Copies of this chain bind each other. A is one copy, B any other.
Amino acid sequence: MPSNQQIVLDNRPEGDAVASNFKLVTSETPALAENQVLVKHHYMSLDPYMRGRMNDSKSYAASQALGEVMIGGTVGEVVETRHPKFAVGDQVVGMGGWQQYSVVDAAQPGALRKVDTTHVPLSYYLGAVGMPGVTAWYGLVKIINPKAGETVVISAATGAVGSAFGALAKARGCRTVGIAGGPEKCKYAVDELGFDACIDYKLHKDMYSLAKALKEHCPDGIDGYFENVGGMILDAILLRMNAFGRIAVCGMIAGYNGAPLPLTNPALILVNRLKVEGFIVSEHMEVWPEALTELGSLVATGKLRPRETVAEGLAAAPEAFLGLLKGKNFGKQLVKL
């Protein structure tokens, strides 16, 4: 029964999330009941959706309870087992949360999944070949559903979702344009992720300026947009959408802190007969096998080479998470345990 460091939600943010919303505690891992498995986490995932869970208000799903371990995806290995299908040493992906160990009821469908690290590094199962990758896949394939030759755009282009989106869209013959913050991220999007162009939103102080840049890089207009951000970027995108364009709404990170985030001209949804659809990938488990197969294949063939930002040790998680919300990470944000 190893000792287990954990990070719990201590209190809810008022406005911006801060490090003191979290508290590091230590507990003992309990003895296993039948069908339970003890997993030692090697990496945990930090994702923007976690910010929504910190609020008490209605969001994606139930709020994160105060005093409980922060929710989150993890990869690791089985170190004790009372389930016949899991052996010590198995590499597994699950939702272990912000802690060093988790006790998992392995009989519960989907709670724990064994993964093969022959061609795909373990940590990628939290990113390109995990929830963020499937998120990109769902928004692109099921909502935007582009034809070859169409133009698709994604904000937060160099993040975990954006990286996968770029590779998936290029594989479908789309003109693929990213939006990211700063010249380094934009260069990386084009040079390493295969985007046809990437626009640095920090160079644009209003929607009209950004819309002008979009016009330059999307000369045939925009047919599909994957929304990770909201705010001024969405306003600018709407000015450039083609008739019958599709917008997959996956995140509105700028709005998580409670600041009102209006959409300037919703009438453009009508003018251009757009379809705007919000989704949460965990509600579409039926697509995961197909999506993960394609994503794994893109990684194995070198067509998807995602970058990772790795914080060291559980105690570093809160600062890394706050940095993620401000766009300080580069690619998938992980914590190595």
A interface residues with partner B (beta carbon < 8 Å): 58-60, 230, 234, 249-252, 255, 260-267, 269-280, 283
**What B residues does A275 contact at CB under 8 A?**
275-278
Distance of A274 from chain B, by nearest CB (Å): 5
User: Given A60-B271, A273-B280, A278-B273, does the pair A265, B266 have CB atoms closer than 8 Å?
Assistant: no
User: Given A276-B275, A276-B276, A277-B276, does the pair A261, B270 have CB atoms closer than 8 Å?
Assistant: no
Question: Judging by beta carbons under 8 Å apart, are B278 and A234 in contact?
Answer: no
**What B residues does A255 contact at CB under 8 A?**
265, 267
Question: Judging by beta carbons under 8 Å apart, are A250 and B266 in contact?
Answer: no
Other A-B contacts than A261-B266, A269-B276, A269-B277, 12 sampled, CB-CB below 8 A, are A249-B269, A260-B264, A260-B265, A261-B267, A262-B265, A263-B266, A269-B278, A271-B278, A273-B277, A274-B276, A274-B277, A276-B277
Please report the C-alpha to C-alpha distance between residue A63 and residue B250 in the assembled complex, in whole angstroms. Answer: 35
- Which listed residue (B266, B267, B273, B274) contacts A266, Cβ 8 A? B266
Question: Judging by beta carbons under 8 Å apart, are A251 and B270 in contact?
Answer: yes
Distance of A223 from chain B, by nearest CB (Å): 15
Please report the C-alpha to C-alpha distance between residue A288 and residue B48 in the assembled complex, in whole angstroms. Answer: 45
Please report the C-alpha to C-alpha distance between residue A230 and residue B270 in the assembled complex, in whole angstroms. Answer: 11
Q: Helix, strand, loop or mixed for chain A's interface?
A: loop
Please report the C-alpha to C-alpha distance between residue A147 and residue B203 in the assembled complex, in whole angstroms. Answer: 48
| Interface core residue of A58, A261, A270, A277 (most chain B CB under 10 Å) | A270
**What B residues does A252 contact at CB under 8 A?**
266-267, 270
Please report the C-alpha to C-alpha distance between residue A273 and residue B283 in the assembled complex, in whole angstroms. Answer: 10
Can you list 21 contacts pairing A with B, beta carbon distance less than 8 Å? A60-B270, A60-B271, A230-B266, A230-B267, A234-B266, A250-B270, A261-B266, A261-B267, A262-B262, A262-B263, A262-B266, A263-B263, A269-B277, A269-B278, A270-B278, A271-B278, A273-B280, A274-B277, A275-B275, A275-B278, A276-B276
The 6 closest A-B pairs by CB, nearest first: A270-B278, A263-B263, A263-B266, A262-B262, A252-B267, A276-B276
**What B residues does A277 contact at CB under 8 A?**
269, 273-276
- Which listed residue (B59, B264, B273) contacts A279, Cβ 8 A? B273
Question: Judging by beta carbons under 8 Å apart, are B271 and A58 in contact?
Answer: yes
Distance of A251 from chain B, by nearest CB (Å): 7
